Amino acid sequence: MKSAVVESYGHAPRYADFPDPELQAGQQLVTVTAAALSPLVRSIASGQHYSSGGSSFPFVPGVDGVGRLENGQRVYFAFPRAPYGSMAERTVVGSSQCVPLPDELDDLTAAVAANPGMSSWAALTERARLVAGETVLVNGATGAAGRLAIQIAKFLGAKTVIATGRNQASIEPLTELGADATLPLDQEPEKLTQSFRSTITDYGVNVVLDYLWGASAQSVIEAVSGHGSAAGEPRIRFVQIGAISEGTVVLPAAALRSSGLELMGSGLGSVSFSGLLRSIGELMNAIVPGKFRIEAVPVPLSEVESAWGRDAGGRIVFTVEG
């Protein structure tokens, strides 16, 4: 079968022949129609993700996609059995790792929304346990995941959503997606910390979804210091989702002792496979009624090598011919 094939880390996958998958007990054969090129897929295929260890070459990249089972049912599927990823004509997954898709949701939208949408849906429902009427701050809201996070937080009942981005120009369009307030990050460190502190106090932030880590996340943590210690002040659940800016921060012990800050992560490992699939199933059934806005850029899988390094804001979806 034709597939994207990773032969070594550090090189884009090639479009080439790969052995057909063989079914094992408890698995489903999926004929793939669409598979998104998410940051997670890039990271795993390059060997840079924490789940990349132990890969043997060659392998087919892709952690999820959309396709049809042998009985014709259209599904979203996740976590194919190695070495078969989703970027191939066919793949195999566990029977419990398929989610039926609503008829009104098209393949491209399902594929492009799954990974970025799941990141905030799982963070809000499985980790932060968002309560309707709370306030959510999305740190790093200008990418595909952050833009969906604004819409999903509102759909799940957030009263107020605050969005951050690298500068004023990048955050202005976010109000059209439902952001009630915005905060630019291109400020001096002390001023940025004060801006976060004022925002947290003025709006009563309950949940932080962090897609950036690094300096801006550290400013949030410093801004929270001393917050939540008085009776009646809300505790802040800080959910770390991505590290686009930097992989580390300086975490002062006093920041935890002097506040109601609760630090947690959301991703592969901190949320179970069943939890992630439950989140995706709920997300898929919310996309159309929620009128979520996300754009897919379809690219034939045969062009995988040239498209792999293209910066399209996480919107590339490889379509499988035939």
Q: What is the pLDDT along the chain (322 residues), one digit of tens a residue?
A: 999 999 988 889 999 999 999 899 999 999 999 999 988 898 888 877 766 665 688 999 999 999 999 999 999 999 999 999 999 999 999 989 999 999 999 999 999 999 999 999 999 999 999 999 999 999 999 999 999 999 999 999 999 999 999 999 999 999 999 999 999 999 999 999 999 999 999 999 999 999 999 999 999 999 998 765 444 566 899 999 999 898 899 998 988 888 889 999 998 889 998 899 899 999 999 999 999 999 999 999 999 999 998 877 778 999 997 5
Contact (CB, 8 A) for 80 and 92: yes
What pLDDT is attached to residue 150? 98
Measured CA to CA, the distance from residue 140 to residue 149 in angstroms comes to: 10
Whether the upstream peptide bond of residue 298 has omega within 30° of 0, thus cis, is no
What pLDDT is attached to residue 70? 95
In sequence order, the β-bridge partners of residue 46 are none
Q: Which two tokens stand for residue 54?
A: 């132990």
What pLDDT is attached to residue 234? 67
| Dihedral angle sign, alpha carbons of residues 226, 232, 234, 235 | positive
Torsion region of 137: left, alpha or beta (phi above 0 gives left; psi -120 to 50 gives alpha): beta
Measured CA to CA, the distance from residue 289 to residue 280 in angstroms comes to: 15
What DSSP character marks residue 249? -
Q: Which two tokens stand for residue 52?
A: 């990349």
What pLDDT is attached to residue 315? 87
* Residue ranges of domains in the chain: 2-104+295-319, 115-265
Q: Estimate the share of the chain in helix, then strand, then coil, as percent rounded to the nearest 5.
A: 30, 25, 45
Q: Going by C-beta distance under 8 Å and a sequence separation of 6 or more, which residues neighbour residue 320?
A: 32, 33, 34, 35, 67, 88, 89, 301
What pLDDT is attached to residue 231? 45
Asked if the domains 2-104+295-319 and 115-265 are classified in one and the same CATH topology, the answer is: yes
Residue 170 φ then ψ, to 5°:
-75, -25
Q: Which two tokens stand for residue 16?
A: 């080439």
What pLDDT is attached to residue 300? 97
In sequence order, the β-bridge partners of residue 100 are 75
Measured CA to CA, the distance from residue 195 to residue 203 in angstroms comes to: 12
What pLDDT is attached to residue 168? 96
CATH dotted code for 2-104+295-319: 3.90.180.10
Contact (CB, 8 A) for 87 and 62: yes
What pLDDT is attached to residue 273? 84
Q: Going by C-beta distance under 8 Å and a sequence separation of 6 or more, which residues neighbour residue 160?
A: 135, 136, 180, 181, 203
| Spatial CA neighbour of 160 closest among 92, 94, 207 | 207
CATH dotted code for 115-265: 3.90.180.10
What pLDDT is attached to residue 53? 60
3-state secondary structure of 99: strand
What pLDDT is attached to residue 271? 93
